[in-house]
Amino acid sequence: MITRSITAIAALGLSGLSSAHAQQVLAERPETVVRYLQNAGYRALLETDDEGYNVIRTGIGGWNYDIYFLDCDKEDVCHSLKFQIGFDLPEGTSLEATNAYNFNRPLGSASIDKNGDPWLEWVVSTRGGLTKRNFDDVIDWWATAVRWFEEDFPFPDDSDKPGDD
């Protein structure tokens, strides 16, 4: 009788964990990231990049950006997400402007490519899972970082602004 009670209690506890786990955003389960973004009203397409890795194509604030999967083990189970956006500026930008962004803005890391175009990336761990509320916060902070990036690296004319969300 005691064994059955312990088994029943354990089963209830585990079913609660699996239900909570099913509602979490996990890099190890890319469909959870896609589902969250789509349920929040964003376009989100899970694709494979040129090197065979998963990438989510999405957008925010009128800009296209990608989410890559990092911190992967030997079985290609990943535990972190890398948000990445790049601006193809007609005149490019300078190393000084990029360094100023990194010094003055507390989120993300800016760099420039060989054409002088600015890029922003931010890595977020999902190890152990992120709740919807946690991921809401991640997306809100990413939107803020993209807005700062747009302010610091503006297009000459907003009509040339690529992408959509």
CATH of the domain at 124: 3.30.1460.70
Does residue 7 fall inside a structural domain?
no
Residue 149 forms part of a structural domain: yes
Q: What is the pLDDT of residue 23?
A: 81
Query: Which residues of the chain are modeled with pLDDT < 70?
Result: 1-22, 156-165
For residue 117, what pLDDT is reported?
A: 94
Q: H-type helices in the chain, by residue range?
A: 2-22, 30-39, 95-104, 132-152
Q: What is the pLDDT of residue 102?
A: 95
Cα 144–chain centre separation: 13
* Number of residues in the chain: 165
12 in a structural domain: no
Backbone CA torsion sign across 165, 45, 93, 112 = positive
Q: Is residue 50 part of a domain?
A: yes
Enclosing domain of residue 49 = 24-160
Would you state the pLDDT for residue 159? 42
Q: Give the pLDDT confidence score for residue 16 in this predicted structure.
A: 43
Domain total of the chain: 1
Q: Which of 136, 153, 137 shows the shortest CA–CA distance to 102?
A: 153
pLDDT value of position 52: 87
Summarised one tens digit per residue, pLDDT across range 1-37 is 444 443 343 444 444 444 455 589 999 999 999 999 9
**Position 4 in a domain:** no
